[in-house]
Each structure stands twice: as structure tokens, then as C-alpha cells.
Homo-oligomer: A and B are copies of this chain.
Amino acid sequence: MRRVYFTPGPSGLYFTVEHHLKHAVKTGITSISHRSKQFEEIFKEAETNFKELVQLPDNYQMVFTSSATEIWEKMADGLITGKSLHIVNGAFSKKFYSVVNNLNKETDIIESSWGDLPDFKTRANEEYDVVGVTHNETSTGVETPLDQLYSLKKQHPESILAVDAVSSLPVVNLDYSKVDTVYASVQKAFGLPAGLGVWLINDKTEELARNLHDSGKVRQTPHNIVSLIDQARKYQTPSTPNILAIYLFSQVVRDMINRGIQQIRNDIIYKSAIMYNMLEKHNILNPFVKEKTLRSDTIIVVDSGERTNDLLNYLSAHKLEVGNGYGKMMGKQIRIANFPTHSKEQFEMLVDLIEKFE
């Protein structure tokens, strides 16, 4: 048996990636020009497939970047001239705040302890250029309930609501009409090698970006929201992209459509349920997130305390790799990814093994 990666990202490859990689090398996709018709076809197919998979409305444009970190920087540069609000409940929501803050922008923050969610209404009715919220905190395993997430839009109707779905897209069933921009990395739930960011931008976000761009108020970098959108409309990118990753993305998304997004989502819920149920009854281990409505389906964080390294080694001896706690929780927690590539059988095996750990 090959080692199985339940790590929270990079994670296990989607099970069809190996096949698509072979095809890409065999047919020369790694060697085609990114200015060729063939590349445009790949980009177009990626967009068509993705729009179908998540039912993305037509007022959204998909663009590719090299990472979600790049998206944070380009949002700060291209959308925020006034002030931004950041809902912070872990390391990654904090990072977006830090990126904006380090660029000397004015920022407000609503912060909770790890494992929880702050009170979203604290700054209600204040307007911001951007309100940033993390749907699924990869560091803590807290999932923001969608009704709460959408409530930010009601509280800040003029602001751009930017949703970090790095470790939940395409599993999360988002109502895209209730948010403005959404971004993800492919090395999490898409099951692809790291090195590509996916950014969904609605017309309202584009309009703000274009106005600021045209007014000369924002930096005219090679990659900026406007250049990324303008190129993407031609199925192009401003600079040579990770062509292989875009090809793999298009193919894996097609495979997910064929499997059925509802089936994928049901499987995730099943796997998450058996894991949390087992953890609730475990003698040594506990789910970190106490409030059940906040428990992430895709990133399951476990309090393992001083037994953390024993647990990691025990699972690793069975060729199962899970993640260590993030940042300050390293050595105190484990994090388990529950992504589309992880089969029910693999997950049941993992649950069984953790259940027997003592």
C-alpha cells in the first residue's frame, strides 16, 4: 500500500492525477506555449468545467495566480484604498490581515480565540472596501456557518465580501450571489500539486478594481486584478503560468463532475461524521472545536496533547500521514484533511486506527 496523505495541504493527490500527469508528459502539454491556441483551449476547458462543478454564476470571472498568498497581496493592492475589516479566528485569517496591514493600509479586526468564531456584528453597519472572512480555518478546523458568513453582506452591503475558501472549495456549497470574491489553493480539496491559486471575482469586485486601476490610484504591476481578468477573458495569463497545474485542474474538475458534486459532498459529510463520532467517545483524544455547528467537515482538528507525536508515529507506521497542529498548536494537536480524494474506505481505516490508539 502506498502512503496515504490526510495532511491538510499539500494533501493526497486526487486519485486520477497520476493518469493525467502521464498524459500531459506523453502529449507534450508541458512544452506548449502559453500563448498558443492549445493553451487557450486548456484554460477554457478549466473554466467551463469549474463553472459547471460549482455552478458559478455568469457574473463571476475565474483567474489563476501562483498561490492564495499572491491573491491576498493583489486584493490589498487592487481593492483597498480606504479601510478593510478582517474576521480573524486562526493563523490564516490573521495572515490576510497582516498582509494588508504590512502594506500600511487601515485595517479593523474582529478576533476570537482559536477554535471559535468572533461576534460578526461588532462592526456592523460600518463600511469597508473589503471585508475578509475565512470560510474554513485550516489552522483550527473551524468552519464559518454559511448563514453567518452571508450575514456579513447584510451588515456591510457596500463592501466587497472576500471569502477565503482555501481548504473548502469545491466542497462548500456556496451561494455566490451572497458574496463577492472567493479564492482557493489547489493543493487542498482539489487534490493537486501545490503551485496554483484559483480566484473567483464577481462584477462588483471587478468594477471597483477597474475604477481604481483606471484612476491610477493603485499599482500597475504585471499581475493585478485587472490584468488577470483581461487576460483570463482571452483564456490567457499575464506571464507564463504553471501550465501543467492548469491542465491538471481542468481534468480533475471534470473527473469530479463525472463523479457528481453531490456525491462528493455526501461522502465528505459521512467521513466527517464517523470521525467526530469516534472522537467524541475517545478516551484520550477530543475534537478541538467544541461547538458542533462550527466543526469543519474538511479539516478535523484533534486535541492530542502530549500524545501527539505518539499518535503521528503510530499512524505513520500504518502508512497514514495526518498533519501536526498548526503554529502554536504544533505538538499538541493533529489535523486531519477530509478531501474528495480520501475514499470512504481509507477514512474508515483511519477512524478505526485512531479509535484503537491508547
Contact = CB atoms under 8 A, between A and B. Distances in A.
Interface in A195-218: 195-196
A9 interface: yes
Contact of A69 (B18, B219, B220, B239): B239
B220 A102 contact: yes
Given A17-B25, A73-B221, A240 B32 contact: no
Given A26-B2, A103-B221, A220-B102, A243 B32 contact: no
A358 to B, nearest CB: 27
A32 B222 CA distance: 31
Contacts of A70: 66, 222-223, 239
Interface of A is mostly: loop
A68 B32 CA distance: 18
A21 B25 contact: yes
Nearest to A221: B73
A21 B194 CA distance: 14
A204 to B, nearest CB: 26
A304 interface: no
How extensive is the interface on chain A, given as a class? 35 or more
B30 A193 contact: yes
A28 B3 contact: yes
Given A66-B70, A194-B242, A221 B30 contact: no
Contacts of A99: 221-222
A243 B10 contact: yes
A46 interface: no
A242 B193 contact: yes
Given A195-B195, A240-B69, A10 B25 contact: no
Given A3-B28, A103-B220, A9 B195 contact: no
Interface string A1-40: 0110101011111000110010001101011111000000
Interface of A: 2-3, 5, 7, 9-13, 17-18, 21, 25-26, 28, 30-34, 66-70, 72-73, 99, 102-103, 185, 187, 193-196, 219-223, 238-245, 321, 323
13 contacts: A7-B31, A7-B32, A10-B30, A12-B31, A30-B194, A70-B223, A73-B223, A102-B220, A102-B221, A193-B242, A195-B242, A195-B245, A242-B242
